[in-house]
Structure 1
Amino acid sequence: MGTASGMLAAARASLGMTGRPNTITRDYAARHGGEFLRAAWCDMAVTYWARQSGNRAAVLPGGDRAYTVWHAQDFQKIGRWHTGTTANVDRARPGDIVFFDWGASNSVGAIDHVGVVEKVLGGGRLQTIEGNTGDAVKRRVRSASVIAGYGRPAYGSGDGGEPAPPKPGTPAPRWPGRYITQPPVMVGDDVRQWQARMRERGWHITVDGAYGPRSEEVCRAFQEEKGLEVDGIVGPQTWREAWESPIT
């Protein structure tokens, strides 16, 4: 069974994805038909992150979703729906699935969009990760005025979606002495070691020893998460943080 932190790690790994078709819409279309390749993909993204992180049962109680209204109704049916009042928004938790109505109502039937809560900012505001926002995966800050409500997945780390407690870091192995970047694609045991560590931290990444576009995408997302310079290059600080910072 998955966790809220795993769901967020999967969402962060997609930050920066743009356009369609993309990895998310292709994954959904492979199961549900080619018409989804270029369709609106905000809820396909939530479906993809849930599947990638082992959270399918918790996040998708009614199965895969591309239509936000049905997804919100799934949470209503199992009693895990919270209407988007300011007070309720301030009680949201990281990993909650948040639904939006650009018409500023709390009507489930009027829902237009969906994302994942990353941080609760107070004052009726949330920081989210959303797919298909400007045809990309981006962080947004949203207020209760456009939040119709949110569903609370029953994550495995505790009822109600509490994030798993951070795991302590470990001493970093010696930095290999070269800056890992691309293009051209760099290969080597140091790349494989770094990829394996990113996978241990919950990122969806292939451990093949080749630092290509996907590895750089994960590196940039990890750097942003840790407040480092976001350049997509595994230098001494990024290497050290991969091991020594707590895993959340």
Structure 2
Amino acid sequence: MGAAQMLAEARRCLGMAGRPNRITREYASRHGDEFLDASWCDMAITFWARHSGNAAAVLPGGDRAYTVWHAQDFQKVGRWHVGTTAEVNRAKPGDIVFFDWGASNSVGAIDHVGIVEKALGGGRVQTIEANTANACKRRVRASDVIAGYGRPAYGGGNWTEDMVKKLPQLAKGATGEHVQSVQALLLARSHPEIKMTGKFDDATEKAVKAVQKWGGIPSDGVVGQKTWPVLLRVN
């Protein structure tokens, strides 16, 4: 797994147009039929990541269809680069690049996402983007519309270990965005019964125990230092 595999998956989708399509259908099969005809730029990133074995690196918060949350995921793990010309010139193939058509660097204003295929210099990158004119195409983008980019930890390294140190212990009754991250990871690990409510309920606890059993760790239903790496593991 790595940037090359991620880009290979993206290139296979060049020319895809219209929706629903295989990307939106696969996402909807896990998250609900409302995604069949939704904007699919970030669903495509999710699709390419999962099909290339890069889910843990590219999707630190689990499956994403909403670009703002995806960018925030990269911020939380310390792998976010703001979209200035100088930073865009440091972009690498495989980086996940986020756009704001209002020409700000505000994460909350992000409208669109793609993957960097090539850095061109002069604050420009060549990208592959889905849902651009409702198709998957190559584009050339400049720093004025790039809000920033996330750099996936392709190849692993100590990324999971470092990230886990920053994550809280969660158990039944907990609430908040970290619980939502757990639920997203459970959905990505084939637990379609889970809803992203942000509430650590009975269903979430049951699914956590199943994942713990699968991962060969104590099945206590508590998400802590031993369970986070199992949730983030790529098969």
Range class of TM-score, shorter chain: 0.5 to 0.7
Q: Displacement, 1:79?
A: 0.2
Aligned equivalents of 2:132, 2:23: Cα separation in 1? 14
Tell me if the contact between 1:10 and 1:49 (Cα under 8 Å) persists in the aligned partners.
yes
Work out whether 1:131 is the aligned partner of 2:141: no
Aligned equivalents of 2:95, 2:158: Cα separation in 1? 12
Aligned partner of residue 128 in structure 2, secondary structure: strand
Which residue in 2 is equivalent to 1:175?
none
Work out whether 1:62 is the aligned partner of 2:61: yes
Q: What amino acid is the match of 2:114?
A: G
For structure 1, which runs of at least 5 residues remain unmatched after alignment?
A: 161-248
Aligned equivalents of 1:69, 1:143: Cα separation in 2? 19
Q: Displacement, 1:151?
A: 0.2
Which residue in 1 is equivalent to 2:43?
44
Q: Displacement, 1:158?
A: 6.6
Structure with higher Rg: it is 1
- Which TM-score applies when normalising by structure 2? 0.66
Aligned equivalents of 2:83, 2:41: Cα separation in 1? 19
Q: What amino acid is the match of 2:19?
A: R
Aligned equivalents of 2:13, 2:26: Cα separation in 1? 13
Aligned equivalents of 1:149, 1:131: Cα separation in 2? 18
Tell me if the contact between 2:57 and 2:156 (Cα under 8 Å) persists in the aligned partners.
no
Work out whether 1:4 is the aligned partner of 2:3: yes
Aligned Cα root-mean-square deviation (Å):
1.3
Tell me if the contact between 2:95 and 2:151 (Cα under 8 Å) persists in the aligned partners.
yes
Tell me if the contact between 2:67 and 2:112 (Cα under 8 Å) persists in the aligned partners.
yes
Write out per-residue CA displacement over residues 129-173 of structure 1, whole angstroms, 9 at most, x where no aligned residue.
Answer: 00000000000000000000000000017789xxxxxxxxxxxxx
Which residue in 2 is equivalent to 1:115?
114
Work out whether 1:84 is the aligned partner of 2:88: no
- Which TM-score applies when normalising by structure 1? 0.63
Aligned partner of residue 9 in structure 2, secondary structure: helix
Runs of 4+ in 1 over 3 A off after TM superposition: 157-160
Q: What amino acid is the match of 2:16?
A: M
